[in-house]
Chains A and B, each alone.
Chain A
């Protein structure tokens, strides 16, 4: 396998129990280290399913997933140590404070003591949340929760970070802080895998993208090159051109 690959998917298929059609239908994908990769697609395209399989959360029906030099199916523990996950949901405890939430998650990654405290402080300052760190999460706005949710995924300095729609329900300011910090993390060597259906954001953030629909990759490459190739003005137009204007309500 390629030593420069952060992730390699080969003939990946996922058919949920009882489902008539596959949620992920034969995806083969090569994600090199050090990029910000956007997995873009309409609702129900199979983004979360793909990311979940990469993190080892759900088992593929068939196919192979490699994260760095480890097979996700066979070396799950090794994989877990080098990845960070920011789930689509706000996976925080509402009655605990921001600090308590982050402390718990840090502990779960084996971080503790002053080192952990320092790390939490730094991140809180970066994301402008140090003033409210001792307030309960349920008093936070959507944007604040999203930022804490993101910090929770990067406390342990993962080599590969998965973000599943990290900017849903977030105002422009919050989104800006998040994308800026993701750029910063990426510059420091973190590979970022990101899903979204917000094309403008993806265009600004991602170095590489793949557009997925009905569980299949329709196209992939660098955003600028793809826009040129398809003679569209921006990523959003490209997206509509490729995925169609039909609603995805199943």
Chain B
């Protein structure tokens, strides 16, 4: 215990006296958080509030028109502008580029849909010898025409997905109307189904999505992204000073001296890890305070940290563990301070980029997103997002804690291997 405590004391004393190191550990992430949160404030807002301008002309007064309108509204994808224009006018307006999409629901669309269904049902029923009305042979259904106009520069894939979703929605309405009709025909004396209830939740435009936008992305603002992101980055940057300290002790013989002393070297290593872990916790708390109190002063939104303080603390500790483990590994693999700090800095920056520290992972190309899964910074950031954005609990972040601790042990194992090799 004495050995552990005095090692921690020694490490902290050395860290506290290293003014340059302290600046990198504390001022750098604070500066990064503040600058990036300010720079990315506008782009994040744009991304969040990005809605597709849509011109809607609804000439129908029945339930179909209403249902489509409701669906479009609820998708929250569109900025809907309702106007009363005719066919050519809609076409012209969309062509001019004022709107990405124009939708025209013709007069009596509901009526026509009903009629079509009615006709269809009666025909089928009479074919089956069930109906009581006689249908003229030449009476044919005429499809209901919904007109959709796209701006000239609209991507084909986007058009297809919009049309598909609309088709899907209207076919649901068709089916519903069809079902209603059947039941009406079949129990003419029976109770009518409640139309309103049936139409509820019937048209949904959830499928209309050209960019995959996870739920989190909608809540993610510049502060919610940048504060945890650069906190994690700052924590991982400790790799450089940690590796440096290990290499220095190896070079100046301290490491050998310690190994000639009685007792396990594990104690000494633990002391080092605990000391740096302590620093990372202070770092993280400081960064969160910046998000809570400094950023609002700069006109940015206040950081929301959820309510699970224990889970948040564990997230910080395990991120710190992963970082210190990485530091020990880098310190053991590389021979010189120069090599270690170069590799440390480059690797942390790459892992940060992959991990969505610079820009959120969901705006990255698919191929990069797959690689993100291998970045401990991504695990950590995902954990923080779970806690901060989705009111996540301990069980939600457990997978991330597990991955981070596995990373920690893998790093230590690698370090021991390299240490053995060099003897």
Contact = CB atoms under 8 A, between A and B. Distances in A.
Interface string A215-235: 000000000000000000000
Contacts of A92: 252, 254
Nearest to B260: A85
Interface in B1-19: 2-3, 5-7, 9-10, 13-14, 17-18
A105 B263 CA distance: 13
Contacts of A91: 252-254, 256-257
Nearest to A83: B260
A108 interface: yes
Contacts of A81: 262
Contacts of B5: 107
A155 to B, nearest CB: 11
A100 B9 CA distance: 10
B260 A55 contact: yes
Interface string A147-159: 0000010000000
A166 B387 CA distance: 57
B35 interface: no
Contacts of A77: 262-263
Contacts of A87: 253, 256-257
| Consensus secondary structure, chain B interface | helix
Given A95-B14, A96-B14, A104-B6, A109 B261 contact: yes
A163 to B, nearest CB: 12
Chain B, interface residues (CB within 8 Å), range = 20 to 34
B263 A108 contact: yes
Interface string B253-271: 1101111111100001000
Given A95-B14, A107-B3, A108-B261, A90 B423 contact: no
Contacts of B261: 80, 108-109
A58 interface: yes
Interface string B327-339: 0000000000000
Interface in A51-99: 52, 55-59, 77, 80-81, 83, 85, 87-93, 95-96
Given A88-B253, A89-B252, A93-B14, A57 B263 contact: no
Contacts of A89: 251-253
Contacts of B252: 89-92
Contacts, number: 73
A90 B253 contact: yes
Nearest to A101: B10
Contacts of A100: 10, 13
A145 B251 CA distance: 16
A80 B263 CA distance: 9
B13 to A, nearest CB: 6
A103 B10 CA distance: 10
B165 to A, nearest CB: 65
A93 B259 CA distance: 16
A57 B17 contact: no
A115 to B, nearest CB: 13
A55 B262 CA distance: 11
Contacts of A3: none
Contacts of B254: 91-93
B178 to A, nearest CB: 81
Contacts of B18: 95
Contacts of B253: 87-91
A57 B260 contact: yes
Contacts of A107: 2-3, 5-6
A79 to B, nearest CB: 9
A112 B10 contact: no
A17 B9 CA distance: 37
A90 B268 CA distance: 19
B10 A104 contact: yes
A110 interface: yes
A88 B10 CA distance: 22
Contacts of B251: 89
Contacts of A108: 3, 6-7, 258, 261, 263, 268
Nearest to B423: A58
Contacts of B2: 107, 110, 112
Nearest to A158: B260
B188 to A, nearest CB: 95
A77 B267 CA distance: 14
Interface string B1-41: 01101110110011001100000000000000000000000
A59 B420 CA distance: 11
A137 B253 CA distance: 15
B250 to A, nearest CB: 10
Nearest to B421: A17
B15 to A, nearest CB: 9
Contacts of B268: 108
Nearest to A111: B2
A80 B256 CA distance: 12
A118 B379 CA distance: 51
B292 to A, nearest CB: 34
Contacts of B257: 85, 87, 91, 105, 152
B256 A57 contact: yes
Contacts of A103: 6
22 contacts: A56-B260, A59-B423, A80-B261, A87-B253, A87-B257, A90-B252, A90-B253, A91-B257, A92-B254, A93-B10, A93-B14, A93-B254, A95-B14, A96-B10, A96-B13, A104-B10, A105-B257, A107-B5, A108-B7, A110-B3, A112-B2, A152-B257
List 10 tightest A-B contacts by C-beta distance, closest first. Answer: A89-B253, A91-B253, A107-B6, A87-B253, A85-B260, A80-B262, A91-B254, A91-B257, A95-B17, A104-B10
Given A83-B260, A91-B253, A108-B3, 5 more contacts: A85-B260, A90-B252, A93-B14, A103-B6, A107-B3
